[in-house]
Amino acid sequence: GDSVTQMEGPVTLSEEACLTINCTYTATGYPSLFWYVQYPGEGLQLLLKATKADDKGSNKGFEATYRKETTSFHLEKGSVQVSDSAVYFCALSDLNTGNQFYFGTGTSLTVIP
């Protein structure tokens, strides 16, 4: 079935460092891919999305490119800030296999000044 695998955390970076969080997926069809962010005690917020191969999603300095050949959707940011500290979830949805979103286990990011 459909699934998402994320790199395990936690990840600790200094402010202004580069960030990459790896995400790979398994899907039988042509899924849409998402990154959600969760701040402490809060629900999930959509960070960015891509709906077809080679699409690049971007928001707030974060980017991810939908790579069908490697079934990946890695999250990147060139210069992280303390305010980026949160848990990041990779997710997919696939109309061909049902009516739900599949989430990875999340990667906790802490950015220190």
For another protein, the closer of residues 5 and 72 by Cβ is: 5
Cα–chain center distance at 25: 11
Instruction: Please give the structure tokens belonging to residue 86.
Output: 């949160």
Question: Shortest gap between Cβ of 101 and another protein (angstroms)?
Answer: 6
Neighbours of 55 (CB within 10 A): 14
For another protein, the closer of residues 43 and 113 by Cβ is: 43
Question: Shortest gap between Cβ of 29 and another protein (angstroms)?
Answer: 11
- Read off the amino acid at residue 95: L
For another protein, the closer of residues 51 and 79 by Cβ is: 51
What are the residues binding another protein (CB under 8 A)? 4, 32, 34, 36, 42-46, 49, 51, 89, 91, 93-95, 98-106
For another protein, the closer of residues 6 and 19 by Cβ is: 6
Closest CA to 88 of 71, 63, 72, 105: 105
* C-alpha pair distances (Å), 91 with each of 13, 18, 82: 23, 22, 24
Question: Shortest gap between Cβ of 18 and another protein (angstroms)?
Answer: 24
